[in-house]
């Protein structure tokens, strides 16, 4: 059949590596190539069904949609054919010669060429069409794009190159022929193929037919949209296979959300939360990927955001009964019906997450590790149901050691007498947070503090200030009065101060204010510290340290605002400084010690020391003096 116009082209480096992996496949389950090719065939039929809603001529020849698997024992080939949208010459080259999906290039460049190391990587990624090379040493793809006259053939032996040839015109669709490797004759067995299709592809909504050597044809799948069936008639296996198909994923669904909404809006959703974190979760181009169907007809997954970005890990389909079939993709995003569906779906997903968290805490924690930071992005948006999101959020906390997590509600149930605020501390690393002096007074009084160390935490805490009637506040705020909160052992209670002592602390504050000048906003006595002498704090309503630092890095603001220096009246250094206030000879020491304490507080908050040379000189002076003493 091939004519002389054969063109030779090279695979991209990434594809060559993928193909090498397929040829020397370590997959224990090669059957999945059938699932992958049938899945592509079904997508191709879906695409044409949508296109032909507005361009009926596209479908005129080529009959009703179906997928056919034909066996030829004599030639040892099987062919998987569909009468879907088809591919033109350039699409064959682009789709089956390069990988264009966002983030894939970077991902695949991590492949080393060592199949043992690469297999787990590729396992996360899914191999689609290329899986055919697990069982075949040569693969031919013949394709005719619907509405076009040309037919093109792509052929490769996975040896670094493929050929493109023009063929005699045929009717629309794609046929993929696999020349089986030695030892793969099992795929020539009709019963085996039927079993594989029923295991992996029963949910496909187009008929799948197997034709044997004698020309007998048999339809082997149920052939109706899976999501329209009763839940009780769908097995977990079938859900899983549908998830693999719709999400191009290879893991197990962690959560399956299948329900039908009836009433003012009528739609069915079949949504999945993956059990594995996809490699492109944080890629800027990653879009929420839920497919829109209208009355069983696939419409699109690209021009429409059916779930918000903070649920971009959710995969699956939504099938609406109310939208018109001929709806244009361009106007979809502004459709008010869709906006309502989106709101309802968000509520549903959050409700199911809550149920799952209540039913299986351990499994929920795994979910949280994968997707928690993404979900928390929703806390930053004014339009999202922030309280409902917060309800399913989990946090590290001083109540638990190690990696254990807590919910806001659990936190509230452990709040102390007189405590009306949920306290937190943000930082980069959990280990460092646990050692922060800012926690001292809280720990001593048995007051729990949430430890927030995801990047997104720095943002939502600035816009979300209460939950279930409790304030949410950073322990770095200057107005926290711990005296009235929690329970503290008698022997740990600070001594009652005499009026003279109180007055001398106030004088010390004034003196420090004078020394530090514009470098601080204020100097105050605090009950927050025990082991440390000083810490920095910010006023209620002012920007928190970390957000401010981030905005400076991003050049959104120029300089940091002055902070409040809090001093611990029970600390030996502070007490000695207060004692020396009236001693003229100690003026220089008080000044140096003040700057040292201030710089130390800045270092602890991760801030730069303003004048490193002066800092070193002062520190050296004190060290010398203490060694000489
Ligand atoms: P994926 O299906 O994950 O996108 P594949 O490597 O399996 O990746 O396929 C690459 C692309 O080739 C598909 O996205 C699709 O555009 C095209 N393609 C594959 N099989 C067919 C087919 N049977 N009909 C039409 N297009 C197809």
Q: What percent of the chain has pLDDT over 70?
A: 96
Written as six digits, the tokens of 489 are 């052992």
Q: Enter the pTM of the model.
A: 0.81
Is the predicted pLDDT of residue 2 greater than 50, yes or no? no
Residue 106 pLDDT greater than 80, yes or no: no
Work out which ligand 1 atom sits closest to the CA atom of 82. 23
Give per-residue pLDDT as tens, 67-95: 999 999 999 999 999 999 999 999 999 98
Mutate which of 62, 65, 95 for ligand 1? The one with the most ligand atoms within 8 Å of its CB, which is 95
Cα separation, 553 vs 429, whole angstroms: 19
Mean pLDDT over residues 491-504, rounded?
84
CA of 39 to the centre of ligand 1 (A): 9
Separation CA 161–CA 184 (nearest Å): 24
pLDDT band at 303 (very low <50, low <70, confident <90, very high): confident
Give kind and range of the element (H or E) at residue 292.
strand 289-294
The answer to whether the CB of 337 falls within 8 A of the CB of 265 is yes
Query: Rounded CA gap, 355 and 64, in Å?
Result: 43
Name the DSSP class of 215: -
The residue-averaged pLDDT of 98-115 equals 69
Residue 236 vs residue 550, higher pLDDT: 236
Mean pLDDT to the nearest integer, 384-392:
97
Does 152 or 479 have the greater pLDDT score? 152
Q: Give the mean pLDDT of 385-409.
A: 95
pLDDT tens sequence across 325-355: 877 777 787 889 999 999 999 999 999 999 9
- Alpha helices for 149-204 (secondary structure H): 190-200
User: What's the pLDDT at 1?
Assistant: 46
Q: Which pLDDT belongs to residue 146?
A: 94
Q: How far is ligand 1, taken at its centre, from the CA of residue 45, in Å?
A: 12
In a 3-state reduction of DSSP, which class is residue 552? helix
pLDDT for position 314 = 96
68: which 2 tokens? 């056919």
Which residues have CB under 6 Å of ligand 1? 36, 40-41, 44, 82, 84-87, 95-96, 128-129, 174, 248
What does pLDDT average to over the chain? 90
How does residue 275 score in pLDDT terms, banded at 50, 70 and 90?
very high
- At residue 391, the pLDDT reads 97
Query: Which letter, b or e, does each residue of 330-362 get, where b requires 16 or more Cβ atoms within 10 Å of its Cβ?
Result: eebeebebbeebbeebbeebbebbeebbeeeee
Whether residue 511 has pLDDT greater than 90: yes
> What is the 10 CA–ligand 1 centroid distance (Å)?
18
β-pairing verdict for 449-452 and 421-426: parallel
Q: Band of the pLDDT at 104, cuts 50, 70, 90?
A: low
In this predicted structure, what is the pLDDT of residue 116? 72
The 10s digit of each residue's pLDDT in 49-69 is 988 888 888 877 778 999 999
128 Cα: distance to centroid of ligand 1 (angstroms):
7
pLDDT band at residue 492 under the 50/70/90 scheme: confident
126 versus 427: which is more confidently predicted? Answer: 427
pLDDT of residue 27: 66
Any residues with CB less than 8 A from the CB of 367 and at least 6 apart, and which?
Answer: 254, 255, 273, 353, 356
- Give the pLDDT of residue 224: 84
d(CA 590, CA 598): 12
pLDDT recorded at residue 120: 66
Burial of 299: CB neighbours in 10 Å, binned 0-12, 13-18, 19+: buried
**Confidence category of residue 98, pLDDT binned at 50, 70, 90:** confident
Q: Which domains, and CATH codes, for the chain?
A: 6-222 (3.30.565.10), 228-357 (3.30.230.80), 395-485 (3.40.50.11260), 499-628 (1.20.120.790)
Q: Reply yes or no on whether the pLDDT at 460 is more than 60.
A: yes
Confidence at 234, pLDDT banded by 50, 70, 90: very high
Q: Which atom, in ligand 1's list, is nearest to the CA of 126? A: 3
pLDDT value of position 100: 59
- Please tell me the distance from the alpha carbon of residue 627 to that of residue 629, in angstroms, as a whole number: 5
Mean pLDDT check: name the lowest of 130-134, 438-442, 543-547, 618-622. 543-547
Please check the confidence at residue 238 and state whether its pLDDT lies above 90. Answer: yes
Tokens of 471: 């304030």
* pLDDT at residue 291 in the model: 92
Q: Which of 49, 62, 129, 134 to mutate to test the pocket of ligand 1 (most atoms within 8 A of CB)?
A: 129
Q: What residue owns the CA closest to ligand 1's atom 12? A: 95
- The pLDDT of residue 559 is above 90: no
């Amino acid at each position: 059949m091939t004519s002389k116009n054969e063109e030779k082209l090279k695979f991209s480096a990434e594809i060559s590596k993928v193909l090498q992996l397929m040829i020397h496949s370590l997959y224990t389950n090669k059957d999945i190539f059938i699932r992958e090719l049938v899945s592509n065939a079904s997508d191709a039929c879906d695409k044409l069904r949508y296109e032909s809603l507005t361009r009926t001529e596209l479908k005129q020849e080529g009959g009703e949609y179906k997928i056919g698997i034909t066996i030829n024992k004599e030639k040892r080939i099987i062919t998987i054919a569909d009468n879907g949208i088809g591919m033109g010459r350039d699409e064959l080259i682009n789709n089956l010669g390069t990988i264009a999906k966002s983030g894939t290039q970077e991902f695949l460049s991590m492949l080393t060429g060592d199949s043992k190391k690469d297999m787990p990587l590729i396992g996360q990624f899914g191999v689609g069409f290329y899986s055919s090379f697990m069982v075949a040493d040569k693969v031919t793809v013949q394709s005719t794009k619907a509405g076009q006259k040309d037919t093109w053939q792509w052929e490769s032996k996975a040896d670094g190159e493929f050929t493109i040839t023009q063929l005699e015109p045929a009717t629309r669709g794609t046929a993929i022929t696999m020349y089986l490797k030695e030892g793969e004759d099992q795929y020539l067995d009709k019963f085996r193929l039927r079993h594989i299709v029923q295991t992996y592809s029963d949910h496909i909504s187009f008929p799948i037919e197997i034709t044997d050597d004698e020309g007998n044809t048999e339809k082997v799948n149920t052939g109706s949209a899976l999501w329209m069936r009763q839940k009780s008639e769908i097995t977990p296996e079938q859900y899983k296979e549908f998830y693999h198909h719709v999400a191009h994923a290879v893991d197990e669904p962690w959560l399956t959300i299948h329900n039908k909404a009836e009433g003012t809006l009528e739609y069915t959703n079949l949504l999945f939360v993956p059990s594995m974190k996809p490699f492109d979760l944080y890629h800027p181009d990653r879009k929420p990927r839920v497919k829109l169907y209208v009355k069983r007809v696939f419409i699109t997954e690209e021009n429409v955001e059916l779930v918000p970005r903070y649920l971009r890990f959710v995969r699956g389909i939504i099938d609406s009964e109310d939208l018109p079939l001929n709806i244009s993709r361009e106007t979809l995003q502004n459709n008010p019906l869709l906006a309502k569906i989106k709101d309802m779906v968000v509520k549903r997903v959050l409700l199911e997450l809550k149920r799952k968290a209540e039913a299986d805490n351990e499994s929920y924690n795994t979910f949280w590790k994968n997707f928690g930071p993404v979900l928390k992005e929703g806390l930053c948006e004014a339009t999202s149901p922030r309280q409902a999101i917060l309800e399913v959020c989990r946090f590290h906390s001083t109540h638990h050691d190690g990696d254990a997590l807590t919910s806001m509600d659990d936190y509230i149930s452990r709040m102390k007498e007189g405590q009306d605020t949920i306290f937190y501390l943000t930082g980069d690393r959990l280990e460092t947070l646990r050692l922060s002096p800012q926690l001292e007074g809280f720990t001593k009084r048995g007051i729990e503090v949430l430890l927030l160390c995801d990047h997104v935490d720095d943002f939502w805490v600035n816009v979300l200030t209460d939950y279930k009637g409790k304030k949410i506040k950073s322990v770095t705020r200057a107005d926290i009065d711990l005296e009235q909160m929690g329970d503290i052992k008698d022997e740990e209670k600070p001594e009652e101060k005499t009026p003279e002592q109180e007055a001398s602390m106030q004088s010390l504050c004034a003196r420090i204010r004078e020394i530090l000048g514009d470098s601080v906003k204020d100097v105050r006595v605090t009950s927050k510290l025990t082991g440390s002498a000083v810490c920095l704090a910010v006023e209620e309503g002012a920007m928190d340290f970390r957000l401010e630092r981030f905005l400076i890095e991003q050049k959104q603001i120029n300089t940091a605002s002055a902070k409040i220096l809090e001093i611990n009246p029970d600390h030996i250094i502070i007490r000695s400084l207060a004692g020396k206030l009236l001693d003229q000879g100690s003026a220089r020491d008080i000044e140096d010690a003040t700057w040292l304490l201030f710089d130390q507080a800045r270092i602890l908050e991760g801030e730069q020391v303003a004048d490193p040379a002066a800092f070193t000189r002062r520190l050296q002076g004190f060290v010398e003096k203490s060694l000489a003493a």
